[in-house]
Amino acid sequence: MNFDLDSERSKGNANSLSYRQLQLETVDLEPENFQQATLLSRHFNNEPQQWQAYLNALAVFALEQWLSDRHLTLTYQVDSLIKTQVLSSEAISPLQVGNFKLCLLSNASLEDQEIKIPKNMIDSPDFAAHFYTIIQVFIEEYQVIVVGFLRYDQLIKKNLKNTKENYYKLSLEAFNAEPSHLIFNLKYLSPAAIKLPENRFIENTFEQLTRWLDQTFTKDWQPIEELLGKRRPIIQMCLRSDEATYQSFINAVQKFLKQFSTPPIQEDKNQVNLAESELSSTEVSHALVQVLETTEDEETRWQAAELLWEIAPSHPAIGVRRAIDLGMQLSGISVALMIAILPRANQRIAILLRIYPLQEQSFLPANLKLIGLDEMGQSLFEVRSRERDDYIQFKFTADPGDQFSLEIVLNNATVTKHFMV
């Protein structure tokens, strides 16, 4: 790792004396802890994420040992923490001790006397915990200090400061500085005594996209042809001509197909010679399916799928697409969110997100934003409309079970939709 350890260590050393004077509980780190932390941190791409994951891993190992010495067992799944990128967050949750959930806040420095907690770690039923525990890591001393803890029901009554980066800030003084009280709570308190937010991400609010492949949709998601009416976005995208006829569209498709031209295989009746100058719509459909099923390039697959939507919208090879009218939720501005899903051979799902104007509008309002968020509420992408954009879009791939949210933002209005792949 290429961390600037000297600067981080100097921060830790500045605080080490004051905490030792308070005689807070310390845990010694072993050499193998550092080796494991280094390996885990390498799962992340950039240096800040690696550094935070490194600290967090050391903090988890120390907390596990500290609880074990007091006859309590910390339960966690490293693979899950890595997959959701919780390990590289400023907080790790949920860790489990019996039926209690713990959120671990690890730091190398507490100089500013404030603790940053991602909002999702408090507001989301998936991450909210019974106890929020602060641990400070001292790299050079091979030690970790259990600084303090706070119960969820007490935390939400505190003066939480909002930040623009989706964090809450809380004074260090708000935390109980007696770690032994945490042990007492974990051993003798009932988890039911601390009410956590209920999981609202049930089928009613969580659109499960893989169900679309079985033709199972919630009522607000309509066939795109019904919602967009006579709008012909795909033909316009291909030809950029309002006077395009169906035949000129077919010609444009054939031009697209010629780059994949291969000699026909006589034994396969569905195999099409893409070099032919004139193909029927059926032959064009077979050729597009052939491209869709054989190419590995994701952008090419989407082009083939979109062309097939025009020629054979019910073909089983082209995945599913649905749209929802957001006008009533977005200050009366008539726009639609379209989502298309396209299965891949490796069980992953390709996803296309697109925002269209509705009714008589030809273009989207300027500065409309499509924002993608991960399970923790961290930003994945942001797309913004410009003057005279007839749609904006974003494409990505995901695994079954992955969760994400979309925010569609215009001026002071925001619509949020939650999805599971």
pLDDT tens, per residue, the chain with 421 residues: 443 333 343 344 444 444 444 457 888 999 999 998 898 888 887 788 888 888 889 999 999 999 999 999 988 777 767 766 677 777 888 889 999 999 998 875 666 678 888 887 888 887 889 999 998 888 888 988 898 899 999 998 888 887 766 788 888 888 998 889 999 999 999 998 999 887 544 444 778 898 898 888 887 898 887 777 655 444 444 444 444 455 555 666 666 776 665 444 334 445 445 444 455 667 777 777 777 777 778 888 888 888 778 777 777 777 888 998 886 666 667 888 999 998 887 778 899 999 998 867 778 888 899 999 887 777 889 999 998 888 999 999 888 888 899 999 888 778 888 898 8
pLDDT in the model for residue 392 = 94
pLDDT in the model for residue 410 = 84
pLDDT in the model for residue 106 = 82
pLDDT in the model for residue 246 = 54
Note the pLDDT tens digit of each residue in 100-135: 999 998 875 666 678 888 887 888 887 889 999 998
pLDDT in the model for residue 132 = 94
Cβ within 8 Å of residue 38, ≥6 positions away = 1, 54
pLDDT in the model for residue 88 = 78
pLDDT in the model for residue 317 = 76
276 burial level (CB within 10 Å; 0-12, 13-18, 19+): middle
Please write down the HEC assignment for all residues of the chain.
CCCCHHHHHHHHHHHHHHHHHCCCEEEECCHHHHHHHHHHHCCCCCHHHHHHHHHHHHHHHHHHHHHHCCCCCEECCHHHHHHCCHHHCCEEEEEEECCEEEEEEEECCCCCCEEEEECHHHHCCCCCCCEEEEEEEECCCCEEEEEEEEEHHHHCCCCCEECCCCEEEEEHHHCECCHHHHHHHHHHCCHHHCCCCCCCCCCCCEEEHHHHHHCCCCCCCECHHHHHCCCCHHHHHHHCCCCCCHHHHHHHHHHHHHHHCCCCCCCCCCCCCCCCCCCCHHHHHHHHHHHHHHCCCHHHHHHHHHHHHHHCCCCHHHCEEEEEECHHHCCCCCEEEEEEEEECCCCCEEEEEEEEECCCCCCCCCCCEEEEECCCCCEEEEEECCCCCCCEEEEEEECCCCEEEEEEEECCEEEEEEEEC
pLDDT in the model for residue 354 = 93
